[in-house]
Amino acid sequence: MLETHYAGCYWLTRLEPVDACARRLESFLGMMAPLEPTWSRWYQSAATFEKARKRQVQPDAMTLAKLLGKKSNRIGDGSRFWLWAGESPDETSGVNGCCGGSSPYLTSTCILNPLGTSEVAKRVVTAPVMTGVVRAMALAWEPEVALATSNEHRQLITAGRFPEPGTFVGWVTYLADFRGPVPPLPSSVQVEHLPDRGTLITLTQEKFSASNPAHVALAADVQARLQAAGLLTPLRPWGT
């Protein structure tokens, strides 16, 4: 089975000014840089790869605030962004999302786009890097939930229903403290508490796959325990 992996964090109705969102994006990109060499240089999109390579974005808060504040990047009272990194057209990865909005109908997000079979994917689709990505999301964005997993596993466990963020587990799962305490989990599962944030849960130290019955069974076990503890629920307005 060919699997594509992604990571994402999600929260709802937290009104923030452009400058605050820019500082969060600066922090996130700064924590991403040590995880993968190509993640130290980010670019805006363009009609061709060659043109896009000329649109490098300096990842400082002032530059990012100008980017997020552009009329074309404003959506309601929030801002959206789309940045990519890579040395060749076949070796790119990207982050996109939206931040700062108060609408209960538009989820705030930061997504590391699906990673296929490129050399970049081979380097980053590992437990240390994917856990590092979700940790960076938790520290920079303060989401309600975050996860890294494969699209195939998400489809497997949410078959027949909309995959609402916060209602299912991934290879790596993050839950904010205000969701409640994490119950005891199998000893093979890595659990890391981030002070003043929440808890990171990494199911396996080997590459997680929906085609591995042991991985699927472990994910189902952990999901059942978290559900029983009342921790897997749809997003709710921030602070409620």
Q: What pLDDT is recorded for position 128?
A: 97
* The pLDDT of residue 91 is above 90: no
What confidence category does residue 240 fall into, taking pLDDT thresholds of 50, 70 and 90? confident
Q: What is the mean pLDDT of residues 100-119?
A: 89
* The pLDDT of residue 116 is above 80: no
Q: Is 110 in a helix, a strand, or coil?
A: strand
Q: What pLDDT is recorded for position 89?
A: 84
Task: Tell me if 24 sits within 8 A of 99, measured CB to CB.
Answer: yes
* The pLDDT of residue 136 is above 80: yes
CA distance 85 to 61: 18
Q: Could you tell me which residue, 196 or 88, shows the higher pLDDT?
A: 196
What confidence category does residue 162 fall into, taking pLDDT thresholds of 50, 70 and 90? confident
Longest dimension (CA), the chain: 51
The domain limits of the chain are: 5-228
Tens of pLDDT, residues 63-84: 999 999 999 999 999 999 999 9
Q: Is 122 in a helix, a strand, or coil?
A: helix
* The pLDDT of residue 209 is above 90: yes
What confidence category does residue 146 fall into, taking pLDDT thresholds of 50, 70 and 90? very high
CA distance 12 to 61: 23
Query: End-to-end distance of the chain based on CA atoms, in angstroms?
Result: 41
* The pLDDT of residue 239 is above 70: yes
Task: Tell me if 56 sits within 8 A of 157, measured CB to CB.
Answer: no
Q: What is the mean pLDDT of residues 163-179?
A: 96
CA distance 208 to 194: 23
What does pTM read for this prediction?
A: 0.96
Q: What is the mean pLDDT of residues 28-43?
A: 96
The letter for the amino acid at 168 is F
Query: What number of other Cβ atoms are within 10 A of residue 54's Cβ?
Result: 10
Question: Tokens in use for 83?
Answer: 């940045």
What confidence category does residue 87 fall into, taking pLDDT thresholds of 50, 70 and 90? confident
* The pLDDT of residue 1 is above 70: no
Helix ranges, the chain (H): 18-32, 49-52, 61-69, 119-124, 127-141, 151-157, 213-228
Q: Could you tell me the sign of the dihedral formed by the alpha carbons of 229, 231, 233, 236, in that order? A: positive
Q: What pLDDT is recorded for position 212?
A: 96
Q: What pLDDT is recorded for position 175?
A: 98
Question: Tokens in use for 88?
Answer: 């060749």
